[in-house]
Amino acid sequence: MKLTFKIKKSINIIFDYLTDMQKFVKVHPVIYQIDNLGNENYLVHENLKFDFVPFSFTYPVIIEKNISENKITIQAKVFKLIKIEMKFHLKADSDFTIIEEEINIKSLLPVEFIIQSIFRKQHNQLFKNIEIY
């Protein structure tokens, strides 16, 4: 799945929000805590709602960043069954930054469509939050 966002913030600010997990948690709509495990490894605490029923869970995340190319890769393994890889590529456009995001989901479970829908909503809100923060 590929998503594109255009927001009025500099590449440096967006790069910082996507790679500094303390900043990331402040703008993410469902992640409420991130624990630093060292060496760009983190434990993410998330709270989703399904039909108004809260569902909390944790999962490990690895972040790879390439400042010179303005690229970030986030790899997550949810419930040890779902592998998610998000690749962000940031490009300057006058006073704006274009964020091109590619999300790959691998699982033996038939959850790809549901996860894609969740990501569309969450990341739309994530980048709106970064823009106004």
Overall fold of domain 2-132: Alpha-D-Glucose-1,6-Bisphosphate; Chain A, domain 4 (3.30.530)
What distance in Å separates the CA atoms of residue 3 and residue 78, rounded to the nearest whole number?
21
Across the range 58-64, mean pLDDT stands at: 98
Q: Where are the domains of the chain?
A: 2-132
Across the range 3-27, mean pLDDT stands at: 97
Q: What's the whole-model pTM score?
A: 0.94
pLDDT digits (tens, 9 = 90+) for 64-94: 999 999 999 999 999 999 999 999 999 999 9
Q: How confident is the model at residue 63 (pLDDT cuts 50, 70, 90)?
A: very high
Backbone angles phi, psi at 79, to 5 degrees: 55, 25
Tokens of 103: 């999300």
Percent of the chain residues past pLDDT 70, beyond the cut: 100
pLDDT for 49 equals: 86
- How deeply is 106 buried, as exposed, middle or buried, from its count of CB atoms within 10 A (0-12, 13-18, 19+)? exposed
Residues 88 and 75 sit within 8 Å (Cβ to Cβ)? no
